[in-house]
Chains A and B, each alone.
Chain A
Amino acid sequence: MKEEIELIKDGKRLDGRGFDELRPIKIEVGVLKRADGSCYLELGDNKVIAAVYGPREMHPRHAQDAKMAVVKFRYNMAPFSTDDRKRPGPDRRSVEISKVCREAFDPVIMRELYPKAGIEVYVELLQSDAGTRTAGINAASIALADAGIPMKDIVSSIAVGKINGEVVLDLNAVEDNNGEADMPIAMIARTNTITALQMDGRLTKEEFERGLKLAMGACHQIYELQRAALVTRYNQNYESKKEER
């Protein structure tokens, strides 16, 4: 039995956050010149870059779908993104996360508009601090919009978990490693449609419902940040301010 580490002190978490508080989020749109759409996102100490290419001709040819575009999603952690060097390349974990993330976008991307084509999404983690897949989904959402891919909505994502018996929002690495449960979700904020949900660890039914509510509320906050990042990019004021700098 693992010794329990004190993660909550005086009603605050180790990094000073309350139970329902997100880590700070920073979003920058269109950071890569060669990609059709891109986004750099920070969620606390997570640093992630997402790039979208396409729709373009799908290779290999046999993987084409005559009726709709095929979405390829690659979640990848840089070797230097973790405490101990990560062996580069896809592994069991990243293959699974790639699949889950790709499916989180299934209900929104209007794939039928581009038969036979391929849309490629690359999510690269430069630095990780738990909740990387949620940061990746948030960044990929913006990169997809930036690439001009027709979508029904923007997907927002966040994790909830349980530490020292309390349900808290957006675990960091210490909390994730020493906590009792971690549950990342992805959803469409406007319609409250959940497009991905995973859980690691145990929660009671009551805790699950409380966590879900917490995460859904946070997704609305994240959605507003995503939207603002995209809108301000094309604000005239923004451009002129940039010139002044």
Chain B
Amino acid sequence: MYQVVVPGDFLSEETKRAGEGTYVEEGKVYASQYGIASERGEIKVVPLSGKYMPSRGDVVIGKITGISFPFWIVDLASPYEARLHVSALSGITREQIEFGNMSEYLDIDDLVVVKVMDVNALMKIELALQEDIELRRGGRLVEIPHTKVPRVIGRNGSMIKMLKEKCNCFIFIAKNGRIWIRGKEDDMDLASMVILKIARESHTSGLTDRVAEFLDSFRKEKERG
């Protein structure tokens, strides 16, 4: 059984174990967010909602929203926009990219997989490009709240493993809640439908089993026509 907490709820007196989603006042730990209290290791609140905040080392899917030489402006589904420098592209020298032709390499609305290299106090975000995952052809993007990402992955990756097998798709989950799916059209339909279902029911228990059941019955029905 889990415990839903709201901001201001008393959690503990062990201030040394206070973690994310909490604050300490007068020697007591209180919740600072609406979410589910967790006492494993540190005392923290796993939020049920909220915006993604970039932190160093995160691998996320960004969308190019602007070009301002020598940077691409990248939207990370967070309150802050990030910038990607032209030098991040491999195999291209600085001289090859000029003021007018940046869009030939990455244009507005293109998706990129990027790694957050640094976030400073002014929320200036530095990115590095991860070119090993192709996000241009034959796939689609599904967006869910970033707080639901751990549920789509499941404990030790159980959920995502099952999704990949049963939906016959390549699925890449980024930390900011953007998910890239590649496969056959109706496989992708099924995968995105199931991912949205998981996000909707993320707070219920026994979800992995229910999703497995759902996928199996869906398949059976399809075979029957």
A and B bind:
yes
CA distance A148 to B32 in the complex (A): 9
Q: Which residues of chain B come closer than 8 Å to A55, judged between CB atoms?
A: 51, 79
CA distance A152 to B201 in the complex (A): 27
For chain B, residues 177 to 225, give those with C-beta under 8 angstroms from any C-beta of chain A.
201, 203-205
Known contacts A108-B7, A230-B4; A148 and B47 CB within 8 A of each other: yes
With CB as the reference atom, state the residue of chain A lying closest to B203.
Answer: A234
Question: What sequence of 0s and 1s flags, for each residue 145-156 of chain A, a beta carbon within 8 Å of any chain B beta carbon?
Answer: 111111111100
Query: Judging by beta carbons under 8 Å apart, are B205 and A235 in contact?
Result: no
Given contacts A154-B6, A239-B203, 4 further A-B contacts (CB under 8 A): A55-B79, A56-B79, A116-B80, A151-B7
A136 at the interface (CB under 8 A from B): no
For chain B, residues 1 to 40, give those with C-beta under 8 angstroms from any C-beta of chain A.
4, 6-8, 21, 23, 25, 30, 32-36
Query: Judging by beta carbons under 8 Å apart, are B50 and A153 in contact?
Result: no
B interface: dominant SS: loop
With CB as the reference atom, state the residue of chain B lying closest to A149.
Answer: B50
Q: How far is the CB of A151 from chain B (nearest CB, A)?
A: 4
A188 at the interface (CB under 8 A from B): yes
CA distance A114 to B35 in the complex (A): 19
Query: Judging by beta carbons under 8 Å apart, are A147 and B4 in contact?
Result: no
Q: How far is the CB of A35 from chain B (nearest CB, A)?
A: 11
Q: Count residues of chain A with CB under 8 A from any CB of chain B.
A: 33
For chain A, residues 153 to 169, give those with C-beta under 8 angstroms from any C-beta of chain B.
153-154
CA distance A217 to B178 in the complex (A): 45
Residues of A within 8 A of B (CB): 36-37, 54-57, 66, 108, 110, 114-117, 145-154, 188, 190, 226-227, 230-231, 234-236, 239
Known contacts A148-B47, A148-B48, A151-B32; A115 and B4 CB within 8 A of each other: no
Q: How far is the CB of A4 from chain B (nearest CB, A)?
A: 42
B142 at the interface (CB under 8 A from A): no
Query: Judging by beta carbons under 8 Å apart, are A116 and B34 in contact?
Result: no
Q: Which residues of chain B come closer than 8 Å to A146, judged between CB atoms?
A: 34, 49
Query: Judging by beta carbons under 8 Å apart, are B51 and A36 in contact?
Result: yes
Q: How far is the CB of B8 from chain A (nearest CB, A)?
A: 3
Known contacts A151-B32, A188-B8, A231-B4; A115 and B49 CB within 8 A of each other: no
For chain B, residues 154 to 170, give those with C-beta under 8 angstroms from any C-beta of chain A.
none
Q: Which residues of chain A come closer than 8 Å to B8, judged between CB atoms?
A: 108, 151-154, 188, 190
Query: Judging by beta carbons under 8 Å apart, are B32 and A150 in contact?
Result: yes
CA distance A203 to B54 in the complex (A): 52
Known contacts A117-B80, A147-B49, A236-B204; A152 and B121 CB within 8 A of each other: no
Q: How far is the CB of B78 from chain A (nearest CB, A)?
A: 9
**Which one of A56, A115, A145, A230 has the highest number of Cβ atoms from chain B below 10 Å of its Cβ?**
A145
Q: Which residues of chain B come closer than 8 Å to A236, judged between CB atoms?
A: 203-205
Q: How far is the CB of B23 from chain A (nearest CB, A)?
A: 6
